[in-house]
Amino acid sequence: MTGVPPKKSLGQNFLVDENIASRIVRSASLTRDDAVVEIGPGQGALTRELAEKAGSVTAIELDERLAGHLKENLGGLPNLQVVSGDALAFPYESLPGKVKVVANLPYYISTPIITKLLGAHDKISSMILMLQKEVAQRITASPGGRDYGYMSVMVQFYAEAEMLFSVPKEAFRPVPKVDSAVVRLNLRKAPEDVSDAVFFERVVSASFSKRRKMLRNSLKNSSVIPPDRFDSLMERLLVSGIDPSRRAETFSLSEFVLMTEILFENRGL
């Protein structure tokens, strides 16, 4: 304990169960060859053990009080660098080699952080992330279920996503309102083959824009289809095995990829 009062606004619920902390660190299968980036080290529940197992650890903490405390208390670890700053502003793209990310994320910005990390996917080999349980379920969901949506498809485009284990609220101080879960994302060496990853994101976003509707209705008037080609493109999708009367949540990742390629070829540029 640091004696520093926790800031709710920074998502500060600190992990106090040492067995769970060790289990998180073990999930990363670290060796001295690994460079780790830890986001939000807080009071250092994971940090010391990470530094004992990995070659190097860069720990990025927004709260200056906690960053200062870590520097003071763990400053003796020669392979630990504590960065006092915002993980959303960190230049992951300019990391010299591939890193493993290990983080008990601040939940109020978990989605923007994951999006930012996926943007630097070629600099990351894996991520072990503690998340709000519902977010973990969404990220690892399979097609057809109620948790499967935009986030599932976008994360699984870049990574194989696996639910590891649940963590009860009582493992944290202060005790949060929500349960948590730990996921592993193994980044794909090459993401699925699409002509344009930005267009892929636009197609997935448009497809899930009206959640309970047929794909046809979600894509109508969206920016990914020129209006004058709408009917013929729906026909093209149908003959390619993408039935536009299905709902978005029934399509697999490879079906989204095929859909994107058909729409990309006919985007009317």
**Residues at the interface with ligand SAM (CB under 6 A):** 10-15, 39-43, 45-46, 60-63, 66, 86-88, 104, 106, 109
| Rounded CA separation 218/211 (Å) | 8
Provide the minimum distance between the beta carbon of 34 and ligand SAM in the complex, in angstroms, as a whole number: 18
Provide the minimum distance between the beta carbon of 170 and ligand SAM in the complex, in angstroms, as a whole number: 14
Q: Which is nearer to ligand SAM, 10 or 258 (CB)?
A: 10
Task: Write out the two tokens for 80.
Answer: 């630990």
| Rounded CA separation 61/183 (Å) | 21
Task: Write out the two tokens for 17.
Answer: 């169960």
Q: Which is nearer to ligand SAM, 22 or 142 (CB)?
A: 22
Which of 15, 76, 78 shows the shortest CA–CA distance to 42?
15
Provide the minimum distance between the beta carbon of 241 and ligand SAM in the complex, in angstroms, as a whole number: 43
Range 234-264 burial, b when 16+ CB lie within 10 A, else e: bebbeeeebebeebbbebebebbbbbbbbbb
Preceding peptide of 174 cis, ω within 30°: yes
| Rounded CA separation 17/167 (Å) | 10
Q: Are 27 and 128 in contact (CB under 8 A)?
A: yes
Q: Which is nearer to ligand SAM, 108 or 232 (CB)?
A: 108
* Residue closest to ligand SAM (Cβ): 40
Q: Which is nearer to ligand SAM, 177 or 189 (CB)?
A: 177
Provide the minimum distance between the beta carbon of 124 and ligand SAM in the complex, in angstroms, as a whole number: 16
Provide the minimum distance between the beta carbon of 105 and ligand SAM in the complex, in angstroms, as a whole number: 7
User: What SS3 class is residue 219?
Assistant: helix
Provide the minimum distance between the beta carbon of 59 and ligand SAM in the complex, in angstroms, as a whole number: 9
